[in-house]
Amino acid sequence: MTEGPDGLGRRVKAERSRRGWSLARLADASGVSRAMISRIERGESNPTAAVVGKLSAALELSMTALLAPDEGETGQVRRAAGTPHWTDPDTGYLRRQISTPGFPADVTEIVLPAGARVPMPAGTYAFIAQLIWVLDGELTLVEGPAAHHLAAGDAFEFGAPQAREFVNATTADCRYVVVVTRKPTA
């Protein structure tokens, strides 16, 4: 099942309303314009992964929580055809939500197309712990001046929150798993 922009928009609006936030407040917190947030909420825009990352950081939700529909139960088989997924309209970056909302960790399969670059703001990582495990292909993870080159079988646990860029500089797709848990708050 593909998650369309209207489902994402409903969740953004519901989370904003639940907090009592105006469009302006979410725009200030996320760095995304009020006009863009309004278009997303109305289902008129399918934002890029970078914009979803900014919104998830501002709302202190994982990208998965913002993108995945609230459905599915643990203890049941979820068939591949019924796995929720979302595609970045600019890069073709594909997210397939493997775990259900009730599972204690977000488990997501990512397919990063050949030649794609997906930047993520530091705030995306402020409240989560994240691990990446490359299944197929090669991934370069850029953190400031450092570049980590990962091949099939390699894993990387993220450290302190910082802006990152996921790069597939090859001519073949890269497929990896992302595991996210929420960090305890004080």
Q: Write down the CATH number for the domain with range 80-182.
A: 2.60.120.10
Mean pLDDT for the stretch of residues 89-103? 88
Residue 154 has pLDDT above 90, yes or no: yes
- pLDDT above 80 for 32: yes
Residue pair 148/113 in contact by the 8 Å Cβ criterion:
no
Mapped to the 3 state alphabet, what secondary structure does the chain carry?
CECCHHHHHHHHHHHHHHHCCCHHHHHHHHCCCHHHHHHHHCCCCCCCHHHHHHHHHHHCCCHHHHHCCCCCCCCCCCCHHHCCEEECCCCCCEEEECCCCCCCCEEEEEEECCCCEEEECHHHHCCEEEEEEEEECEEEEEECCEEEEEECCCEEECCCCCCEEEECCCCCCEEEEEEEEECCCC
Q: What digits encode the pLDDT tens for the residues 5-24? A: 567 888 889 888 989 999 99
- The mean pLDDT of the chain is 86
Quote the CA–CA distance of 128 and 166 in Å, as a whole number: 17
Per the model's pLDDT, the better-predicted residue between 184 and 169 turns out to be: 169
CATH 2.60.120.10 intervals, the chain:
80-182
Q: pLDDT band for 185, please (50, 70, 90 cuts).
A: low
- pLDDT digits 0-9 by tens, 98-152: 888 778 888 999 999 999 999 988 877 777 889 999 999 999 999 989 999 999 9
Query: How far is Cα 5 from Cα 40, in angstroms, rounded to an integer?
Result: 7
- pLDDT greater than 70 at residue 61: yes
CB 133 within 8 Å of CB 100: no
Arch. (CATH architecture) of 5-67: Orthogonal Bundle (1.10)
Percent residues over pLDDT 90 in the chain:
44
Ranges for all domains in the chain classified under CATH 1.10.260.40: 5-67
Q: What is the pLDDT of residue 71?
A: 58
Write out the two tokens for 53: 């990352």
Q: What percent of the chain has pLDDT over 70?
A: 91
